[in-house]
Structure 1
Amino acid sequence: MYKYNVSKYQTFYAIGLSYQKADAETRGKFSLSLDQRKALLDQAEAIGLDAITVTSTCNRTEIYAFADDEDTIINLLCQFSHGDPEVFKQVGYIYQNRAAIAHMFRVGCGLDSQILGDFEIISQLKSAFTNSKKRHLINPFLERLINSVIQASRRIKNETEISSGATSVSFASVQYILDNIQDVTNKNILLFGTGKIGRNTCENLVKHTKNAHITLINRTKDKAEEVAGKFNLKVKDFSELQTEIRKADILIVATGAQNPTITEELIFPKKPLLILDLSIPKNVSDQVEAIDGVNLLHLDYLSQITDATLAKRKEHIPQAEGIIDEVKEEFYEWLDTRKFAPTIKALKDKFKLFQEEELDYQSKKIANFDKDQAEIISDRIIHKITRSFASHLRAANGSTEDSIALLKKVFELEQQH
């Protein structure tokens, strides 16, 4: 239990599902758009939760929160997604307190990513933190924890080589194209969707394929034009999607739609067509795969490109875990300080009460008693005593709870409090 005066709820939870047990279709049902995440936070506030943050990426959807029971959080997730509680129990995970803290560190530091060393998740955590803080749904515990995870992530990125080489699905998709498509420089490439993954894929396409025949389409044309302007690429209207697909040799789909936008009706290939679907949920209908001349690959397949680069990254896991342990220990030290801070304050208040009673008694008993000077001296003594107790509690490690209990009993602090 985390009775650290940071939440009216006693248990810190991490609940979610990821690529490890849930396939793309299932993850799609539990995924949350930005508007859905905001609505979930509003409802969390309405039912009285005081600390919660939500992330949803192509590989995982997670909620970190204080609550009295896990079902409260699972029901929130299912209420605002298309997920079902019974399905969640089969493929999801639930961590509490220390296990939940350890899980956030591993996720935020890229050790739980589908591609080891992928640090894109940390920006998602930062964004989730910002959304929750705007609604005053971040308490000191969660703020300190997220900042500690960000610190560990930054150190791992700077001090190890765990993120060297390909670290994202967007790069893996371009790597697949380079490895499997002949004369890629002269192929017609169509990128549909210019969200984060689409932008990253676009940048990698330009950088690694040297292709000048890349066309962008987005439902909101000005967003596509903004991305295209950086790389001097062509932009077409959404209404021209079918026409551009017929011209394409390679179609990359990276939209945020909740239902498939690329269906068999749009595909009439006169030449081989490679389709890479980088979307969660899937944005290319499964029926497309049956069309002659079409090679459809989904994000899950691309994420399995675990070559020698990934094997090399694994060598740096112990170093990364060492950094996590170091930063996590600092977090627990802070947490322990918060834990005994109320006891130290109660102890100081008790001593001040003794001081007041004794000064009043001596001023009546001793003629010309210098009460002001005595107060200064006794204040210094109280400060030194409480500081000694604080140092002991900070160094008590596993016996902190016992030491706090003893102080409360000896000085009757519970009654005083």
Structure 2
Amino acid sequence: MKTGIPISNSPTASEGEVQGTRKLWEQIREMGPAWIISAVACGPATLASVAIAGSTYGYKMLWVVILSAVFGTTAQYLAARVGILEGMGIIAATEKHLGKCWAWILTVDALLATWLAAMVLMNALSGITSLVTGVDTPYWGLMYGILIGLFLVRKGYRKFETLCKLLVIFVVACFVATLFMANLSLPGILGGLIPNLPGGIDAALMMAAIMGGAVHITIIGMHTYNTNARAWTTKDLSLARFDTFSSMGLAFGLYSVAIFLVAAAVLHPNGIVVQKATDAALALRPLLGDNAMKVFMVGLWGATLSTVAPTFMAGAYFLADKMGWALEVKDKRFAAAVFAGCLLSMLGPFVKGSFFLLLPLMLALGLTGTPLILAIILYLLNRTHGTLRNSFLLNCMGGITFLVTSFLAIRFVLTKFGVM
């Protein structure tokens, strides 16, 4: 009879750690769709909104900034689930399960919000270029519209977009570094975590804009197409969750909170209310000194340029999906939809007013069209049978996201018309 230590095929603790590390690195290597969305969310409109809010109201709106990251993460993960489980974009999924009427309503809603965003972003891009070059003309929009359209259709934009995002990362790093130099108020921060509703149209606008930077119909709808472009299936749901949490929860959250806190700590105590891009640049002066303006404007230019292109693509996705066209630039009809967005955006620079103030208004208006897509997504995910149906926790988070965004959107509209 043989005796000895029994042989076990189960992995040891060290082997389990190695497997866990390997799986983590595999997820990091494979993630991507939500990072595209995060890059769009970390654009000039969010920067303008949190900078204006921090400089005007101090720490009072910190709770909105934090919730925007939480709800943005929730909305994007729900969108990823729709794209993966349905195997199609949000417009096609809506038509399949709710009919053509609701599909058309959602398409029009999404296109209005998306093309409005494209016009305001082009206004900002033209305005920034005028500030940097000293040549003040709205015709910068014509040049950018044509060039970006050609780049998108010929797929030559990706490397240039990567450069723009690196510029954005650098500016965000500057804001984070400035945090360590700023005189942050702990009582002010703790007070800002308590929900409060400052009165007036300006406060309602800023709260809706901050939330609209993360929970916006354009990026929610676009994410359903991004997951399909990567051919993700149900086995990739955990990857989608990791992808969304790391990009929207962490990266976007850091971006918006850092800029907001710097504005609240540096600009607000000095009575500097942000009305223009040059005002926001003053927040970096403790770190960069006289170079703050140059660095900020270059980063803002990069943020705007890398945000406007995906906006054109999103509009084309919505229209092409409803019309039954192929969702790629090789299809001439899809390419025409991209150029249609470019042409409309060229009108943006001719709109009068400070582009830095138009950006938050654009997000607030976009938020008013967002509850519809959230409601449709929650419906679609709760009609799925079996284990793939939304969990109770996910439904709670989705429901709270829907209710809070609806409240802020309705409050903005009612305040705008003098009802509140």
TM-score by length of 1: 0.23
Larger Rg computed on CA atoms: 1
1 or 2 for the larger relative contact order (CA 8 Å, sep ≥6)? 2
Greater helix proportion: 2
Greater strand proportion: 1
TM-score by length of 2: 0.23
